[in-house]
Structure 1
């Protein structure tokens, strides 16, 4: 198995490949092993997907739970794993750095820090200081933890592309290895953003997002799915349960055959 430092090095290199890194987001250990078996080269946790496994909404997981979940995902596969650590569970830079240190200790290859405190966007100066503290903690040891700086404007009701770009530029200067503005998916907006930064940019696939080939042509270097795979799985459960409740039929078993095949082939320890 590769060492943590080797995984982190590999993870960073995957952002410079001939095509965008496709990085899906498992929500539990079963989905982690399935996605690894399907041949993806790196994975990332999802705060919303993991919260759903606990019967909670996004933002309702604490730091200890998030770090323990990330460590379990890391232990389940021999792939680079990045963690969605929300705002690193701290407002001040010192607390952010402590969370990053825990992320390194969990064996991760990367993680993210966002500029939303659960109620509002941080002032840009504080936000940049938080990224700087995260980068210092992520990069000072033998493991170069790949740090993603996130600007949350466009999923928090602030559709201000100029401010988003300015923030990402500050996060780049503060030491972020990858930049991410969830919610920015429109091609012209992405062109403007990509022209103004010098780090790999991640896009999350969400309703209305261009296909991978178009994102690749624009210059996007990484594509994640956030909680959408977890929501798709929950949607399949709702459809199956509704069929059983309302019609008393079992059409969902046809779709379940794929799951059964994956279950046997992926989870067979023998």
Structure 2
């Protein structure tokens, strides 16, 4: 199902306040996330890859991601933003073509990261994607991710200035928002928010200020990233270890809690 213009407009509007995004990895996790009150669905590239037996980091075939987005679009009614890693290509034109496939599957937003690739390549990809989606008539929310903090691309004392330097170029290239995973200190968050000139997204990590303070600092988006997936897998590991060790049917059943009626949910 191609991306709907009304979903794109709605997703942009959600960044007027602090948007909380618990990341999903398939249709089932996306629908449950929506039913719990999420205003939009975000995928996690790592969680999507891991759930299908691939490593994160451009190892996941982009055509499979398009299928995953389409599966999610079939069962949810809120906007979808897709973690597109680095566009799954070092060729800006191919990255743009991949993103168009995600849009045709139903996404109205993407994350696009720089990682340890050259900053200039990141900019070229943003420009290519912006040009491609404008020709397609889609107001795509390009959430440009810089890993200056997360991957320590520069010494710690230079991270704030380098992030803002990249933010200015990212905005000029056509990004809609700035994603700065790894930043946790309130004063640095405030400086980046004030200097970015576009909505700032952070990643949920230990040590972050509490929600009310993040709102006061001006943060417009917080992603759960891989945490929902790893929490789900932790429950699987614990329950399976216990079952294989003890074969206790009662204990296994007790771990189920009170699940929703999945047949009704997806019927």
When normalised by structure 2's length, the TM-score is 0.89
State whether residues 100 and 133 of structure 2, in contact with CA within 8 Å, keep that contact through their aligned partners in structure 1. yes
Aligned to 1:12: 12
Aligned equivalents of 2:224 and 2:4: distance in 1? 24
* Structure 1 residue 247, shift from structure 2 partner: 4.6
- The CA deviation at 1:248 is 4.7
Could you report, residue by residue, the CA deviation over 1:82-131 in whole angstroms, capped at 9, with x for unpaired residues? 00010001113222222222222222111121112xxxx22222322221
Distance 1:188 1:251 in 2: 47
CA-based RMSD:
2.1
Displacement of 1:142 in angstroms is 2.6
Which of 10, 35, 38 pairs up with 2:36?
38
Structure 1 residues without counterparts, runs of 5 or longer? none
Q: Give the match for residue 198 of structure 1.
A: 197
Greater alpha carbon shift after TM alignment, 164-173 vs 224-233: 164-173
Matched with 2:218 is: 219
- Taking the aligned partners of 2:260 and 2:122, their CA distance within structure 1 comes to 46
Q: Which runs of 5+ in 2 are unaligned?
A: none
Listed one character per residue, the Cα deviations across residues 52-97 of structure 1 (whole Å, up to 9, x for unaligned) are 2112321221211112211221222111000001000111322222
The 3 A distance-change label for structure 1 pair 215 and 2 is farther
| 1:265 Cα deviation after fit | 5.5
Question: Shift in Å at residue 6 of structure 1?
Answer: 0.4
TM-score by length of 1: 0.88
Q: Does 1:153 align with 2:148?
A: yes
1:154-191 Cα shifts (integer Å, max 9, x gaps): 22232423212211221111111111011112212211
TM-superposed deviation, 1:47: 0.9
Hey, what's the Cα distance between the residues in 1 that align with 2:261 and 2:238? 20
Deviates more, 1:107-116 or 1:97-106: 97-106
| Count of matched residue positions in the alignment of Structure 1 and Structure 2 | 261
SS of 1:105 mapped into structure 2 = helix
